[in-house]
Amino acid sequence: MGQITLRPDVVITMMRIANTLAARSTCKKLSVGCVLTDVNNRILSAGYNGLPKGWIHCKNEGNTICNWRCGATHAESNALLSCYAPRKEIHNCYVTHSPCLACMKQLIQTGCSYIYYREKSDEYNIASEYWYAADRLLCLAPSRSFLV
């Protein structure tokens, strides 16, 4: 018989996918990845943060917008924008950094019940108050979920 390999649990798997997506970010300030799943943890959508399509990326020379104001669309917003499933089917959000207040408000408008994150964002305290007020759960993902 061959060696038995343990399968990573769903949280670890989805957080690894979010971490991989973050590497696609075009933002020089912060790289964020997001995965949205249904109640059965089937992937509905995914996204990463970056400037609008066609704009010069912050990470490239010649971009002056990012010198005075961040022009990136956040990973959660990009995932929501590209989600073809009805918003009520979103049950879990796996994201490398906890959502900002604006993204948290967007997620509250969906059926999302759980947010798993690796690191706290600058707006964690105020954003988490909104999330908890909506009777939802915010979960710190296990650190091993970022090891390949």
Confidence of residue 60 (pLDDT cuts 50, 70, 90): low
What is the rounded average pLDDT for all residues in the chain? 88
pLDDT at 145: 54
Mean pLDDT on 98-116: 96
Secondary structure in 3-state letters for the chain: CCCCCCCCCHHHHHHHHHHHHHCCCCCCCCCCEEEEECCCCCEEEEEECECCCCCCCCCCCCCCHHHHCCCCECHHHHHHHCCCCCHHHCCEEEEEECCCHHHHHHHHCCCCCEEEEEECCCCHHHHHHHHHHCCCEEEECCHHHHCC
Mean pLDDT on 41-69: 78
Mean pLDDT on 122-140: 91
pLDDT at 51: 84
pLDDT tens track for 27-36: 878 899 999 9
Catalytic residues: 76
Mean pLDDT on 106-126: 94
The token pair at 123 is 């707006």
Q: Which residues contact 110 (CB under 8 A, 6 or more apart)?
A: 80, 87, 88, 90
State what percent of residues in the chain have pLDDT above 70.
87
